């Protein structure tokens, strides 16, 4: 790659497993192009470590297109690093300067235990969705075409905005209480706004909130940090909607 070469110091959390104490380890990487993505820089480090006979740093990644949310790293005290509206794989090294020290950590939350190094177990999110994130579908042969169900554009747009949540966990990592309310609020909202989601609406919000609490996530801090760090810009309005849906469900 062409571009300005940077020499960097990386302070990376290394942890062999959930029961290992873990520690920060310093590494040097040189001649890093400003055009590289952050994960490409991590690839360079791992190639260097492998060549030296050392254990490479474990980190999650998949699509590297900002879609899947797996590339979740806490970089210099910010979820997904020093940029907005992006995942870690979309973060480029031009956001850093030659000679910088970059601190790289996993998500820090009791509900997201470390598996190894920078990889955490986020299956708590999956269990929350399984607790109620579905709609009933009539497959008796009289199924109604979704296009035939009138939905206002405002509601459709808001539901789509909520559905853009990729479940990366940046909201949890950013919140001082490790709250998952932005995530759960988005998942509740994407169905609460649509007529197809009304059948299970009360059970959905009760079950998903109960599972969230069972997983050990904290309560909302009301600071709004989750919305700021969310790579998809999920609005705090979804938390308010979830609370309203929960209140309605509790009165039934």
pLDDT digits (tens, 9 = 90+) for 225-250: 999 999 999 999 999 999 999 999 99
The per-residue pLDDT for 4 is 63
Q: If you average pLDDT over residues 197-219, what whole number do you get?
A: 96
- Does pTM surpass 0.85? yes
- The CATH homologous superfamily to which domain 122-250 belongs is Alpha-helical ferredoxin (1.10.1060.10)
At residue 58 the predicted structure's pLDDT band, cuts being 50, 70 and 90, is very high
The domain made up of 5-115 has a fold known as Ubiquitin-like (UB roll) (3.10.20)
Is 87 within 8 Å of 231 (Cβ atoms)? yes
Cα distances (Å, whole numbers) of residue 160 to 154, 190, 234, 235: 10, 7, 11, 12
What are the structural domain ranges in the chain? 5-115, 122-250
């Amino acid at each position: 790659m062409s571009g300005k070469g940077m020499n960097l110091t990386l302070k990376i959390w290394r942890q062999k497993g959930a029961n290992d104490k873990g520690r920060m380890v310093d590494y040097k990487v040189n001649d890093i192009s400003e055009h590289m993505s952050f994960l490409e820089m991590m690839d360079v480090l791992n190639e260097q470590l492998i060549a030296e006979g050392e254990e490479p740093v474990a980190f999650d990644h998949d699509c590297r297109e900002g879609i899947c949310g797996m590339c979740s790293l806490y970089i210099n005290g910010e979820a997904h690093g020093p940029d907005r509206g992006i995942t870690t794989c979309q973060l480029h090294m031009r956001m850093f300067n030659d000679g910088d020290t970059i601190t790289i950590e996993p998500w820090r939350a009791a509900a997201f235990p470390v598996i190894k190094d920078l990889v955490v177990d986020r299956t708590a999110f999956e269990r929350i969705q399984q607790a109620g994130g579905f709609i009933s579908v009539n497959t008796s042969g009289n199924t109604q075409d979704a296009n035939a169900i009138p939905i206002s554009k405002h509601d459709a747009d808001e539901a789509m905005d909520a559905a853009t949540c990729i479940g990366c966990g940046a909201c949890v990592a950013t919140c001082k209480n490790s709250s998952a309310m932005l995530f759960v609020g988005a998942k509740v909202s994407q169905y609460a706004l649509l007529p197809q989601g009304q059948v299970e609406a009360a059970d959905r919000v009760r079950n998903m909130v109960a599972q969230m609490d069972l997983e050990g996530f904290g309560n909302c801090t009301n600071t709004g940090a989750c919305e700021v760090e969310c790579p998809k810009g999920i609005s705090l309005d979804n938390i308010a909607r979830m609370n309203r849906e929960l209140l309605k469900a509790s009165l039934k």
